[in-house]
Amino acid sequence: MLTTLAIIFVFGSMVMIHELGHYMVAKWIGVKVIEFSFGFGPKIIGYQGKETLYALRVIPLGGFVKLHGMDPEVDENGQAVIAPLEDVRSFMNKPVWQRMAVIGAGPIMNFVLAMILFVSVFAYLGVPTQGNSNVIGSLLKGKPAATSGIQPGDRIVAVNQESTPDWNRLTEVIHANPNQVLSLTVERVNGKQRQTVAIKTEKDAQTGFGMIGIAPEVTYMHASILQSTHFGLERTVDFTNLIVVTLTQMITGKIPAEVGGPVMIAQAIGEGAHEGLANLLGLTGVLSIQLGLINLFPIPALDGSRLIFLLIEGLRGKPLNPEKENLIHLVGFVMLMVLMIAVTYKDVVRLFVKAG
């Protein structure tokens, strides 16, 4: 039940804030909004406002805002109709910069949501401060340390009989020995027992450092709203840079292209929910940044491609052929759905293999 509620919260907040960005700016510049929907496919429920239909649809993998004049509309005779040039409430009859503002508002709102969530976490928990003791704060699942029997709270006092009095020295020794078997002298949580644990390090693909999957103790210091805002903005920028670098390295082949679909994301959300509200909010912030960035990619059917078409229109002084542009977006949408199905299938297979 908790996982289900968490998934609804995460996907719902990311999608709704994105579409709300399109909606608000469209309203602001005077474009008629025909529909504001969460999900795709057949309508489950809906409310018809003065001029906008607000709907919940069957497939909860996104949402959309339908703007008057953005695409051909079907009249009562089943014919495709394009809004006339004198229609001041038509999206296509607005200046290029205003249309770009409507399209760009969606991804921008995803970054705003991320910053709000990070600020909330810092205001609630405080600002995290990494300690420098040789005490293990947490373990990464599936990594060498987690499978060796070491536990959070254990103290690593030596590596290969070399003293490691603090975290800096401990990580220096581990980083210097990728793909090597290390002998760790571990002082158990109760401080009354020591034992030697042999662990083979992994080589980090990006840095080449040896890694065993441990993290230091973290303490939280109270922060004012101003400090929380500063750290929230800083965290948003840091995660954005990290995601951009990671995606770039995947595209260039520097690191393996590990792509997760809705199933994997849902699994991560479930784990985050069980680890506490702060972890869930932080995860939502990171996923919101990813959604904003991906939507800015120049891929047909995504906001990024529409911005490219508008930029071209602005440079050449006239729009591209609407029928050709709509066809490109339709083909792109179909390809995205096929990719989504393929990635989802891969996620499901991975879960079954892991369970087996």
Catalytic annotation, residues: 19
| Neighbour count for residue 355 (Cβ, 10 Å) | 6
Q: CB neighbours of 178 closer than 8 A, spacing ≥ 6?
A: 201, 202, 203, 204, 208, 209, 210, 211
Task: Look at the chain and count its residues.
Answer: 356
Q: Return the DSSP state at 135.
A: B
Q: Which is it for strands 136-139 and 214-216: parallel, antiparallel or unpaired?
A: antiparallel
Looking at residue 265, its amino acid is: I
Place of tokens 């229609």: 87
Looking at residue 352, its amino acid is: F
Looking at residue 228, its amino acid is: S
> Which residues face 198 on adjacent strands?
183
Q: Return the DSSP state at 4.
A: H
Q: CB neighbours of 275 closer than 8 A, spacing ≥ 6?
A: none
Place of tokens 């705003």: 112
Rounded to the nearest 5 percent, the helix, strand and coil shares of the chain are 50, 20, 30
| Neighbour count for residue 236 (Cβ, 10 Å) | 23
**Contact indicator for 133, 167 with CB cutoff of 8 Å:** yes
Looking at residue 301, its amino acid is: A
Max CA pair span of the chain: 84
Per-residue buried b or exposed e for 111-129, using 16+ beta carbons within 10 Å of the residue's own CB: bbbbbbbbbbbbbebbbee
